[in-house]
């Protein structure tokens, strides 16, 4: 039996941030990571105010800002003609929500939480592939590949898109979007085009989009190219290949095509999510992060939702402690499950809709562009529900935005 209070399966950003949040309460936390070492693969992450608010609560915001970039503006452009569609003044955004919008390398944020966990006394174990979860009297157990059984009052499954624990709750599979992402980071001196590192820029186009922004204090440019794969739509196994990348972006503007030579062409990320579920807890086993709510990337909230999950769970454990300091595990899990699934359902489904909006072509693209150009720069009606304080109770969850039908663009034209 493990002499710990909480076992967390998975040492990614969600697992480590949750381990730190719980260790701050004085709990003994153990993280089981299947890889030979702790680390993250990928490039940049965008951290909206709902995340930087939590980093500040953890005392980690200043360090995160020193590792990343705090941009001044977010800009959406048309990928075909390069024209500006709409923007966010991120300095005003910070004044509105009280915390900054920043970008950071995924490995830097992961390393920040890893260091924080070590300082907080979290037990970090590698080479621990968990193959089974089960319930015990007043506890939960996990079994690793070598046959070892680990027991604790609470087990948190932060084991990602292909979660083993999720199968306890629902018999489902990841949902393919037929889109694929290529990434690449470029040292600024190697760029062949001028780039404004004070901006986060997304170019939206028919069945494709392209994102770039600075990282590591402006030393690197992070780039992401996403497109719909014809091979995936045709049901082929080998999809998202570099030849499809080149074809997908052949008709885009000069600035977008100038980024293509800098993409990593030996690795690509097929984009999956899962349909939302409302049950995340079974006994003393709880899903967290992508195990519970893997999203498509369009809202840049995937890692943030995992960080929020851990913060919410820790806040309820802190709130519900008995007079002798003993955790009310069941009460905290019930409170966690009462609030987080609905918020994350909204994000997952909105990310799907946002992806459809980005990738419109033909007449629908023209309508979208017109609506975006008419958006007031200080209109935060589409971000208030997600960038505000993370809800601890269902009644704290703000109302959703009201979608604007594309046909509204035709009314703008007729009235102009």
- 213 is an active site residue: yes
187-203: buried (b, 16+ CB within 10 Å) or exposed (e) per residue? eeeeeeeebebebbbbb
Instruction: Find the catalytic residue in 179, 213, 298, 336.
Output: 213
What secondary structure, in 3-state letters, does the chain show?
Answer: CCCCCEEEECCCHHHHHHHHHHHCCCCCEEEECCCCCCCCCCCEEEECHHHHHHHHHCCCHHHHHHHCECCCEEEEEECCCCCEEEEEEHHHHHHHHCCCCEEEEHHHHHHHHHHHHHHHCCEEECCCCEEEEEEECCEEEEEECCCCEEEECEEEECCCCCCCHHHHCCCCCCEEEEEEEEEEEEEHHHCCCCCCCCEEEEEEECCEEEEEEEEHHHCEEEEEEEEECHHHHCCCCCCCCHHHHHHHCCCCCHHHHHHHHHCCCCCCEEEEECCCCCCCEECCEEECHHHCCCCCHHHCCHHHHHHHHHHHHHHHHHHCCCCCCCCCHHHHHHHHHHHHHHHHHHHHHHHHHHHHHHCCCHHHHHHHHHHHHCCCCCCCCCCHHHHCCCCCCHHHCCCCCCCCCCCHHHHHHHHC
**Which tokens is 405 given?**
């039908």
Q: Which residues are catalytic?
A: 213
């Amino acid at each position: 039996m493990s002499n710990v209070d909480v076992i967390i399966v998975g040492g990614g950003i969600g697992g480590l941030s949750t381990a730190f949040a719980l260790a701050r309460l004085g709990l003994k936390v153990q993280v089981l990571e299947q890889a030979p070492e702790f680390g993250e693969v990928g490039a940049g992450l965008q951290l909206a105010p709902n995340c930087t608010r939590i980093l500040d609560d953890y005392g980690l915001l200043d360090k995160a800002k020193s590792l990343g970039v705090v941009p001044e503006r977010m800009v959406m452009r048309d990928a075909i003609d390069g024209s500006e569609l709409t923007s966010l003044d991120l300095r005003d955004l910070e004044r509105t929500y009280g915390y900054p919008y920043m970008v950071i390398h995924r490995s830097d944020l992961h390393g920040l939480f890893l260091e924080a966990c070590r300082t907080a006394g979290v037990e970090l174990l590698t080479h621990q592939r968990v193959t089974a979860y089960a319930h015990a009297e007043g506890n939960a157990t996990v079994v690793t590949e070598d046959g070892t059984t680990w027991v604790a009052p609470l087990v948190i499954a932060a084991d990602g898109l292909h979660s083993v624990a999720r199968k306890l709750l629902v018999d489902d599979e990841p949902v393919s979007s037929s889109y694929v992402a290529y990434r690449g980071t470029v040292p600024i001196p190697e760029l062949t085009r001028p780039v404004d590192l004070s901006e986060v820029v997304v170019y939206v186009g028919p069945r494709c989009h392209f994102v770039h922004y600075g990282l590591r204090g402006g030393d690197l440019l992070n780039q992401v190219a996403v497109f719909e794969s014809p091979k995936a739509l045709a049901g082929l196994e080998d999809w998202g290949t570099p030849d499809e990348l080149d074809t997908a972006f052949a008709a885009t503007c000069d600035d977008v095509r100038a980024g293509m030579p800098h993409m990593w062409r030996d690795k690509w990320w097929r984009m999956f999510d899962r349909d939302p579920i409302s049950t995340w807890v079974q006994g003393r086993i709880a899903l967290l992060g992508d195990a519970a709510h893997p999203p498509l990337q369009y809202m840049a909230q995937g890692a943030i939702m995992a960080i929020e999950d851990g913060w919410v769970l820790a806040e309820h454990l802190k709130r519900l402690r008995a007079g002798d300091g003993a955790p009310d595990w069941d009460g905290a899990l019930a409170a966690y499950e009462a609030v987080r699934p609905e918020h994350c359902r909204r994000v997952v489904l909105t990310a799907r809709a946002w992806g459809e909006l980005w990738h419109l072509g033909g007449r629908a693209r023209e309508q979208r562009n017109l609506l975006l150009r008419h958006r007031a720069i200080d209109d935060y009606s589409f971000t208030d529900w997600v960038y505000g304080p993370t809800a601890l109770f269902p009644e704290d969850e703000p109302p959703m935005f009201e979608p604007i039908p594309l046909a509204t663009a035709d009314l703008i034209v007729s009235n102009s």
